[in-house]
Chain A
Amino acid sequence: MSRFLRLVARDLRLALRQGSDATIAVMFFVLCVVLFPFGVGPEPNILARIAAGVIWVAALLASLLSLERLFQTDYEDGSLELLSLSPLPLEAAVLAKTLAHWLVTGVPLIVAAPLLAVLLNMDAEGFGVLVLTLTLGTPILSLIGAIGAALTLGARRGGVLLSLLILPLYIPVLIFGAGAIDAAINGLTPRPHLLLLAGILAAALPLAPWAGAAALRQAVE
């Protein structure tokens, strides 16, 4: 097994044994969406109209929840120093930890989303695209979030700072994610939105680990 996969496996095992991160993210996601019918009122057409946006905003917030801890525990117990001294390049380590984070917190969101779409009376036309946009979008959230988590490492109240830093960067993902679903529901093609999302993912995949590793090197000095 390669070093990269070893690190992914370790982080998955840690998440599984601690058990909280994955369930907290998905519970928060569900509760956040469930609040909307109470606040907006149970009229089906209003809910159907806002479903795509609500689900996407809730997904953004849910993925933010556990980001703060992405590097925090490794930083505090000294593992990060050892990781940065290991033969595995730090960029690859950041990518591995981000991948594990996405598997633990992003994938459950994708699974839960269609259920919430039913709850919000979303048009069935949009279901497939909803899952597709989340599949493309949640890895971007984890990748961009990893940069923020690395930058705010060691800062006091890092979680709040992280949200302020990262949420504005999530806006394009939100626009194209929700836009693709709306397009599909209104009988238009979601293709351009999906392509743009895929483009952002393709850019974030090399850039985020690189930027994150640079920030981590600063942090371990």
Chain B
Amino acid sequence: MPVFAGSELTCLRGDRLVFTGLEFRIAPGGALVLLGPNGSGKSSLLRVMAGLLKPLRGTLDWDGVPVSEDPDGHRSRVQYVGHLDAVKPVLTAAENLAFWAALAGAADPAANARAALDRLGVPHIAGVPGRYLSAGQKRRLNLARLLAAPATLWLLDEPTVALDRAAIALFEGLIAEHRAQGGMVVLSTHTDIATPGGEELHLDEFAPYADDEEAGDEDHEEEGAAP
């Protein structure tokens, strides 16, 4: 059974220590919800997990093997959904999606793309160029990538931004289905996304000792993040 774990993770952005001594562990079917105020390092942690960002210290292990020893293998099992939707304005939704599916090695990327758009409840946007899509439609298109190019580990950075209630419910269903098949999900969110049995990771617990100035900043940001 593969387990994705991180230990002693320390992340530096610019000259600011974002978090230090962070530990996590996800088993197949597990979900990890990253919580914390703005600037507490949720996105940074997701980028570290994806391999986009190198941690200053600490290791990520997949099934006991350090990810740094097998970066190609890690890339093939990760799907990352960031803040940016990666939608090309002149390509249709289906073409956008089919490209990512093909890049991930899908046998029939066009069919995958159609099926994924169906599942996300937006089959009608398949032929619409990216520039005419609304923010919510772009987001759905980006999330459809998770289905069109299947991977074990989903790394989702505030995936429900711009989604309507119906889409959030639909998306919760997709997460549950993915976990039931043994997939893993890590997501950061400021809204409630139902992840039954998922663990929570509070990033502010791993914040390094902050001096007065930084503490002031964080207080300020916490206000902004309050629901």
Contacts and interface: CB of A to CB of B under 8 A. Distances in A.
Interface of A: 1, 3, 6-7, 10, 13-14, 17-18, 73, 76-79, 81-89, 220-221
A70 to B, nearest CB: 15
* B86, B95, B103 pick with most chain A CB within 10 angstroms: B103
The majority secondary structure among interface residues of chain A is helix
Given A85-B75, A86-B104, A79 B86 contact: yes
A118 B122 CA distance: 56
Interface stretch (B47-55, B62-70, B174-182): B47-55
A84 B104 contact: no
A188 to B, nearest CB: 48
Contacts of B76: 87
Contact of A78 (B72, B85, B103): B85
Interface of B: 47, 50-54, 72, 75-76, 78, 80, 82-88, 90-91, 95, 99-100, 102-105
Given A18-B90, A85-B51, 12 more contacts: A3-B105, A6-B103, A17-B90, A78-B83, A78-B84, A85-B75, A86-B103, A86-B104, A87-B75, A88-B103, A89-B72, A220-B52
Given A78-B85, A82-B86, A87-B104, A6 B99 contact: yes
A78 B86 contact: yes
A17 B91 CA distance: 8
5 contacts: A3-B103, A3-B105, A10-B91, A18-B90, A84-B52
A77 B85 contact: yes
Contacts of A83: 103
Nearest to A17: B90
Contacts of A220: 52
Contacts of A18: 90
Contact of A85 (B52, B88, B90): B52
Contacts of B88: 14, 73, 77, 79
A89 B75 CA distance: 10
Nearest to B84: A78
